[in-house]
Amino acid sequence: MAEAKKAGGSEHYDASEIQVLEGLEPVRKRPGMYIGSTGAEGLHHLIKEIADNAVDEAIAGFGTRVDVTLLADGGCRVEDNGRGIPVDIHPKTGKSTLETVLTILHAGGKFGGGGYKVSSGLHGVGSSVVNALSSHMIAEVYRNGKINHIEFNAGVPQKPLEVIGKTDKQGTSVTFYPDPTVFKETIEFDYDWVTNYLRHQAYLTKGVLTTAYDERNGKRSAFYFEGGIKSYVKKLNIGKEVLSEEVFYVEKQIEDSIIELAVQYNDTFSETLRPFANNVLTPDGGMHVIGFRTAINRVVNDYARKNGLLKEKEENLTGDDIKEGLTAVILVKLPDPQFEGQTKNKLGNPEVRGYVDKVMSKYFAYYLEENPAIAKKIVGKATLAARARKAARAARDNVIRKGAFEGLNLPSKLADCSSRDRAECELFIVEGNSAAGSAKEGRDSRVQAILPLRGKVLNTERARLDKMFANAEIVSLIKAMGVGIGEQFDINGLRYYKIVFMTDADVDGAHISTLLLTFFFRYMPEVIKGGHVYMAKPPLFGLIKGTGSNRKIDYVYDEVALENTVNAKIEERLRSGTKIDESAERFKQAGYTAQNRFKGLGEMDANQLWETTMDPKHRTLIRVNIEDAEKADAIFTKLMGDEVELRKNFIQSRAKTVNLDDLDF
Ligand code: 1YM
């Protein structure tokens, strides 16, 4: 590592060389800086760092597959069939290039040489980070008939690279074991994370086969999409009625960038846009998205005017009108992507805006010209959206005139809190009147507000915005939150930094939570993204000890915890020599006098509800986050949408197991 240090800093080597910047010590000192966290997310980031290199090799045109194996011994192996990381001696380090790439931070060399190359902009840099954070790593390169092999412990090579045999394979294989002293929370890899990642990579790189194998349980998956992002758009629209079977697709190179676009409309009211830059999702958009929107708005309006679908005196269709039912994947590949914003989720390269605009304008206009039936449907849908928008505005104006949304006019059902510091304020949305009664009585009225919900929350997936203004439950929710809705939505108005769903721990409760989530997901995703939405976790069981003034209840939140608590108590009693009647009910063996199953929140009195579910000292709140908006979107569609068959299948196959965790929130 001494060489690395010497070389660090301002020296500059030519592009075909590795840039030797630093040793690996900083990575072990501050892993979070390199992989985000040392929790489950950071752990899986290790797989991504290695596998991204394998995918980049395929994007560069040298490999066709990426295989990930979760090993029975806790390791992870990533293998590709590309050229293999070079094994010749590196001029700067005097060691093999393979060892250099794996031991020196910021070592990457992907931009040298001829041909078109793109990567996440960090090609190869991640491998050394993974090595540094792995207790053990084995790297093998199959090149020129030979197996080249090297091993490391915590980033330190155990001996130089050696040839250990012959092979007719070609490619790179990296096996690593996350260091438990770094990943203290967990070192267990999640197979679903792997398949999700590999599925995406396969969609984004057409013609690449990605596979996953979990040695721990024998699970296998493989992903291959001839159509790339065209298949991706089709997948996003599964379960939705599409306006045309055919997906608009174009791939063009401009200067040194590649622009790939796929578009298909469905008959829902929401938009599904997946923008990527060099296979990295950019949820906050950026220049590629701006270019795309400008182009689609112009093309659709131009087409509508030219073909008399929009009269002279009619206003242009707005971006929001054209968005309704739009599903699109935007993939740009460029040599030097600039990721901006706090979370680096936004593409900043200004030139990309014009590139995407140009490609989309030209080819989407052709597409509409060549498919007049589809064009008519798209314009028709946007026109309908425009009409609904105007109707919604009229309805809203009407409501506003009546004063319904004004901040001062809080819903009468709301039991507000007294604090005006919204950072400490919490709004509990409570199912049922009796539970709401207990909640009002038991709460800390300084910071906790209660909004009772009666009956079924409006199924917002199928309701348009204009209809929602007529729904009393939704109107009081919007009013209580103070954020407005639709064009008027303003997160800055949020009156409570915690919005807590408090529903029964049963199927009906889960349904109501799902309906509420649908509403937030569709109309106020910012509130979820801001980390403001939570679910309360009421206990399922009460274990009662003693009677009268000695009565005490232990609250237990699920079946597993019940079993654990009872077992622990029995063991404790056995250890202390207490005689146990083995024929007695189990909770009695544990020294309890009764075991209660709470059927609903309404069964708890004010004190109990406070103690178990509302008191910040004891409660469990689960924060809802849009980790995977795509999956959530699909599940919402299945659960709430028009497709009865899908919903039936989903509920029949998952009803016993489905819980809100499955909704990926
Ligand atoms: C399982 C992980 O890392 N594959 C991989 C990495 C490289 C190459 C091929 C490669 C790149 C180039 C030339 C080039 C890398 N090479 C480097 C460096 N799989 C995996 N496959 N030859 C081979 O970019 O010119 C970094 S990554 F720096 F050595 F060139």
Q: Is residue 531 part of a domain?
A: no
Tell me, yes or no, whether 52 and 147 share the same domain: yes
Reported as a single tens digit per residue, the pLDDT across 184-218 is 999 999 999 999 999 999 999 988 999 999 999 99
For the CA of 63, the closest atom of ligand 1 is 21
Q: In angstroms, rounded to a whole number, what is the distance separating the alpha carbons of residues 538 and 558?
A: 9
Q: Is residue 123 part of a domain?
A: yes
Reported as a single tens digit per residue, the pLDDT across 77-110 is 999 999 999 999 998 889 999 999 999 886 544 4
Q: What is the CATH number of the domain that holds 369?
A: 3.30.230.10
Tell me, yes or no, whether 218 and 234 share the same domain: no
Q: Is 192 a catalytic residue?
A: no
Q: Is residue 406 part of a domain?
A: no
User: Residues 219, 213: contact at Cβ < 8 Å?
Assistant: yes
Which of 188, 256, 397, 508 is catalytic? The answer is 508
Residue 36: what pLDDT?
Answer: 84
> What distance in angstroms lies between residue 53's CA and the mean position of ligand 1's atoms?
7
Residue 327: what pLDDT?
Answer: 97
Residue 16 clears pLDDT 60, i.e. is over it:
no
Residue 45 clears pLDDT 60, i.e. is over it:
yes
Reported as a single tens digit per residue, the pLDDT across 152-170 is 999 999 999 999 999 999 9
Single-letter residue type at 597:
R
Q: Is residue 37 part of a domain?
A: yes
Average pLDDT, the chain: 85
pLDDT band at 652 (very low <50, low <70, confident <90, very high): low
Nearest residue by C-alpha to atom 30 in ligand 1:
109
* Element containing residue 292 per DSSP (H, E): helix 287-306
Q: Which of 85, 93, 104 to mutate to test the pocket of ligand 1 (most atoms within 8 A of CB)?
A: 85
CA-nearest of 80, 93, 226 to 143 is 80
Three-state DSSP state, 106? coil
Report the range out of 29-43, 396-410, 445-459 with the highest average pLDDT. Answer: 29-43
User: Residues 636, 626: contact at Cβ < 8 Å?
Assistant: no
Tell me, yes or no, whether 152 and 281 share the same domain: no
Tell me, yes or no, whether 367 and 384 share the same domain: yes
Tell me, yes or no, whether 212 and 240 share the same domain: no
> What distance in angstroms lies between residue 18's CA and the mean position of ligand 1's atoms?
11
Residue 456 clears pLDDT 80, i.e. is over it:
no
Q: End of a domain among 180, 197, 223?
A: 223
Residue 74: what pLDDT?
Answer: 97
Residue 269's region, left for phi above 0, alpha for psi from -120 to 50, else beta, is alpha
| Average pLDDT over every residue of 223-235 | 93
Q: End of a domain among 198, 223, 248?
A: 223
Q: Is residue 175 part of a domain?
A: yes
Residue 112 clears pLDDT 80, i.e. is over it:
no
Three-state DSSP state, 530? coil
| Average pLDDT over every residue of 591-611 | 88
Q: Is residue 426 part of a domain?
A: no
pLDDT band at 634 (very low <50, low <70, confident <90, very high): low
User: Residues 62, 116: contact at Cβ < 8 Å?
Assistant: no
Tell me, yes or no, whether 119 and 97 share the same domain: yes
pLDDT band at 433 (very low <50, low <70, confident <90, very high): confident
Reported as a single tens digit per residue, the pLDDT across 467-520 is 666 677 888 898 899 988 777 788 999 999 999 999 887 777 777 777 788 788
Backbone φ and ψ of 553, nearest 5°? -120, 130
Q: What is the CATH number of the domain that holds 173?
A: 3.30.565.10
Which of 431, 611, 633, 664 is catalytic? The answer is 431
Three-state DSSP state, 364? helix
Task: Tell which wins on pLDDT, 433 or 338.
Answer: 338
Residue 632: what pLDDT?
Answer: 59
Tell me, yes or no, whether 208 and 242 share the same domain: no
Tell me, yes or no, whether 280 and 370 share the same domain: yes
Tell me, yes or no, whether 143 and 272 share the same domain: no
Residue 8 clears pLDDT 50, i.e. is over it:
no
> What distance in angstroms lies between residue 446's CA and the mean position of ligand 1's atoms?
60
Q: In angstroms, rounded to a whole number, what is the distance separating the alpha carbons of residues 129 and 141?
A: 19
Q: Is residue 115 part of a domain?
A: yes
Among 32-46, 132-146, 208-222, 593-607, the range scoring the smallest mean pLDDT is 593-607
Q: Which of 13, 52, 57 to mutate to test the pocket of ligand 1 (most atoms within 8 A of CB)?
A: 57
Give the orientation angle of helix 350-370 with respect to helix 372-401, to 10 degrees: 120
Tell me, yes or no, whether 25 and 86 share the same domain: yes
User: Residues 356, 263: contact at Cβ < 8 Å?
Assistant: no
Reported as a single tens digit per residue, the pLDDT across 514-540 is 778 878 887 888 999 899 999 898 998
Single-letter residue type at 325:
G
Residue 459 clears pLDDT 60, i.e. is over it:
no
If you search the block for the tokens 């654990």, which residue do you land on?
564
User: Residues 105, 1: contact at Cβ < 8 Å?
Assistant: no
Q: Which of 83, 142, 161 to mutate to test the pocket of ligand 1 (most atoms within 8 A of CB)?
A: 83
Q: Answer positive or negative: Cα dihedral of 314, 319, 323, 329.
A: positive
Tell me, yes or no, whether 187 and 250 share the same domain: no
CA-nearest of 289, 291, 278 to 333 is 278
Number of domains in the chain: 2
Q: Is residue 360 part of a domain?
A: yes
- CA dihedral of residues 486, 490, 495, 501 (deg, nearest 10): 40
Reported as a single tens digit per residue, the pLDDT across 64-80 is 999 999 999 999 999 99
Among 198-202, 355-359, 619-623, 651-655, the range scoring the smallest mean pLDDT is 651-655
* Owning domain of residue 37: 15-223
Nearest residue by C-alpha to atom 28 in ligand 1:
109
Give the orientation angle of helix 229-236 with respect to helix 629-640, to 10 degrees: 40
Q: End of a domain among 374, 395, 416?
A: 395
Pocket of ligand 1 (CB under 6 A): 18, 50, 53-54, 57, 78-80, 82-83, 85-86, 97, 101, 108-110, 112-113, 123-124, 172, 174
Tell me, yes or no, whether 106 and 251 share the same domain: no
Q: Is 504 a catalytic residue?
A: yes
pLDDT band at 466 (very low <50, low <70, confident <90, very high): low
- 522-550 b/e (C-beta count within 10 Å ≥ 16 → b): bbbeebbeeebbbbbbbbbbbbebeeeee
User: Residues 479, 496: contact at Cβ < 8 Å?
Assistant: no
